[in-house]
Amino acid sequence: MNIFHWAFIGSGKLAHIVAKELLPSGRHKIAAVYTRLWEKCQAFAEETRAFPACTPEEAIIRPEVDGVYIVTTHNSHYEYAKLALSLGKPVLCEKPVTTDARQAEELIALAQQKGIYFAEGMWTWFSPIANQVKAWMDEGLYGEIEDVRVSYLVHVINYAPRLADPLLAGGALLDSGIYHLPVPPVWQSRVRAMQGHTEGRHRLEGKCDDELCRRAESDRQYFHGRSPGLGMAADYRQQGENRFARLPLRQRGQPETEGRKAPPV
């Protein structure tokens, strides 16, 4: 069995979650790790049997490393991704890969120039249910869909200070409020007109302050116990008729459309 050897840049909560998913498969090994805090780097290295590197370069250039996983705060993604690509290593970088389009375009151009794989860790692109809906659309089972509106709610207050810190590239569009945005483009080929719209809402004292928040809270209650971590609700108009679908994006199975299993007939 071929084993893929990773260099982890970052050793925080998400790095631990990913390591626990990867290592039991027997197909992945964390060969090296770098993080700015040496004590955390050593602790993660001991836990995963990785080499603790003193610099990111030392972790990336180790000869056994096949690819680099960047799982640091968002404001440093560009720096580490550019370094890894410049050193000739494939990169999987947590979302967002950068904090602006110019940096992203530069990294993509660098990867293309060197012929190196470069990807953003946006799992929503690969959601089995979102792609199943796209397959039904491509088969014409939904007819012509005229527009789509998506609502999404995630409670991030008190989750981690960085989520609301602009200096660390926190905020709705760069952090936990972004997961639903890739889904409509997945469907784009079958939607006649689509308008993207995202708003952030805070729930204070357990109350929703407007219709958007109340609708999103209703969706959250629907998904509670069904989909670990994320559900998304979508309104769409099909040939003048309004319809509604709830998609548990992290749950294997079928979407529900107006209380029935999709596609509608």
Instruction: Pick the range with the lowest mean pLDDT from 101-110, 159-168, 169-178, 233-242.
Output: 233-242
pLDDT band at 205 (very low <50, low <70, confident <90, very high): very low
- Phi/psi region, residue 26 (left: phi>0; alpha: psi -120 to 50; beta: rest), is left
Buried b (16+ CB within 10 A) or exposed e, 20-44: eebbeeeebbbbbbbbeeeebbeeb
**Domain co-membership, 91 together with 116:** yes
Contacts with 221 (C-beta within 8 Å, 6 or more apart), sequence order: none
**Domain co-membership, 114 together with 172:** no
Give me the number of domains the chain comprises: 2
**Domain co-membership, 132 together with 255:** yes
Cα gap 9→25, rounded to integer Å: 21
**Domain co-membership, 87 together with 175:** no
Q: Under a CB-based contact definition with an 8 Å cutoff, are residues 70 and 92 in contact?
A: yes
**Domain co-membership, 116 together with 137:** no
pTM higher than 0.85, yes or no?
no
Q: Which of 57-71, 137-151, 224-238 has the highest mean predicted lDDT (pLDDT)? A: 57-71
**Domain co-membership, 103 together with 136:** no
Instruction: Pick the range with the lowest mean pLDDT from 47-61, 207-221, 233-247.
Output: 207-221
**Domain co-membership, 128 together with 244:** yes
pLDDT band at 28 (very low <50, low <70, confident <90, very high): very high
Q: How do residues 232-262 score in pLDDT, each as one tens digit?
A: 555 555 555 555 555 554 444 444 444 434 4
**What are the angstrom distances between the C-alpha of 110 and each of 7, 87, 103?**
20, 11, 11
**Domain co-membership, 116 together with 153:** no
Q: Which of 121, 154, 186 is the last residue of a domain?
A: 121
**Domain co-membership, 143 together with 249:** yes
**Domain co-membership, 180 together with 93:** no
pLDDT at 257: 43
**Domain co-membership, 171 together with 56:** no
Q: What is the mean pLDDT of the chain?
A: 75
pLDDT band at 189 (very low <50, low <70, confident <90, very high): low
Domain residues for the domain of 219 are 124-261
Looking up residue 36, the CATH number of its domain turns out to be 3.40.50.720
pLDDT at 253: 43
**Domain co-membership, 128 together with 203:** yes
pLDDT at 45: 98
